[in-house]
Amino acid sequence: MGKTICFVNNKGGCGKTTTVCAVGQAWAAMGKKILFIDLDSQSNLTSIITDTDPSIQEWETTLEDAFVGGPEFGLPVYHVNDFIDIVPSDLDLSNFDKDVARVTGREYILADLLETVKANYDYILLDCPPALGLITYNALVASDYMVMVTNADGLSYRGLKMVASLFNEVTGNKRLNPQLQIIAAIVTRYEKNNLSELYLQKMKNELGDIIVEPVVRKSTKISQAGSFQRNIYDYDPTGKATKDYMQVANELLQRVVIK
Ligand SMILES: Nc1ncnc2c1ncn2[C@@H]1O[C@H](COP(=O)(O)OP(=O)(O)O)[C@@H](O)[C@H]1O
Ligand SMILES: [Mg+2]
């Protein structure tokens, strides 16, 4: 049965999508069967994984259709290659809160949808939006493990605090998801200076071993790869941040396997 992992921070632009791609693609290259789920209406994950331009994407059905249709409708899963499938999103997902406002049990919609596909994958990776609303809530309720993604700066740090309180809310309620575990905090876009060292140290003091070594260094090639919807392992195979991501993906896999 596949394990579900959500990647979260309510700060936008801190590297969540890049990290979900880098981890999932590395695991797929090791022969793991991966399902990516794009929970952000900006659909950056969808663009990178399917190599399509967001402005010309025309998916017949997307995640929002499944959210509205429920388990009988099922998840629209698109096949990318032998090891990677994806449930794409588009701008329609921004209607989620409004569309499900009257649905009872709206915190469980994603969890119910995943039940039907879990057996087909080793890992289901959820790319969360930069907000702690109902979609992220659904992600935490549906997941076995949570990974926090952060930069070593004040805004991300504050974002982490808010994520931690949402985590406490979800695990503190036995009808939500008391089994959810935080397995990692991945520090990305790291550029060494006094301020970033201060925040990294602060995070290490508070989170201890949850912080993954190494941190992922900032690299122009990574942002280029993102804007061209390219896989970082193809675009910059020997780059410093690519190497960091390979190690991070290995470390994360070990943590998931041990659990
Ligand atoms: N290690 C890195 N070095 C440089 N740029 C990065 C790095 N990681 C991510 N980026 C860039 O930062 C921007 C935001 O990253 P993204 O993964 O989309 O963040 P989020 O999903 O949290 O909004 C993107 O343009 C991405 O290419
Ligand atoms: Mg994103």
pLDDT at 72 over 90: no
Amino acid occupying residue 101: A
What's the total number of domains in the chain? 1
pLDDT at 203 over 80: yes
CA 253 to chain centroid, in Å, comes to 15
pLDDT at 19 over 90: yes
Pocket of ligand 1 (CB under 6 A): 12-18, 44, 130, 188-189, 216, 218-219, 222-223, 226, 241
CATH code, domain carrying 78: 3.40.50.300
Residues 212-226 have pLDDT tens digits of: 999 999 999 999 999
How far is residue 76's CA from residue 127's CA, in Å, rounded to a whole number? Answer: 16
Residues 117-152 have pLDDT tens digits of: 999 999 999 999 999 999 999 999 999 999 999 999
Cα(15) to ligand 2 centroid in Å equals: 7
Q: For the chain, give the percent of residues with pLDDT over 90.
A: 86
Cα(97) to ligand 1 centroid in Å equals: 26
pTM of the predicted model as reported, rounded to 2 decimal places? 0.97
Token pair recorded at residue 156: 């991300």
Q: Whose CA is nearest to atom 26 of ligand 1?
A: 223
Cα(97) to ligand 2 centroid in Å equals: 19
pLDDT at 57 over 80: no
| Segments in the chain forming alpha helices (H) | 16-29, 44-50, 63-69, 96-99, 109-115, 134-142, 154-172, 194-207, 220-227, 232-235, 240-258
Query: What is the domain extent for residue 134?
Result: 3-258
Residues 157-185 have pLDDT tens digits of: 999 999 999 999 999 999 999 999 999 99
pLDDT at 26 over 90: yes
> What is the pLDDT, as a whole number, of residue 127?
98
Q: Whose CA is nearest to atom 5 of ligand 1?
A: 223
Question: Alpha-carbon Rg of the chain, whole angstroms?
Answer: 17
Cβ atoms of 200 and 239 within 8 Å: the answer is: no
> What is the pLDDT, as a whole number, of residue 3?
97
pLDDT at 244 over 80: yes
> What is the pLDDT, as a whole number, of residue 82?
97
How far is residue 124's CA from residue 210's CA, in Å, rounded to a whole number? Answer: 20
> What is the pLDDT, as a whole number, of residue 77?
96
Ligand 1 atom at minimum distance from 226 CA: 27
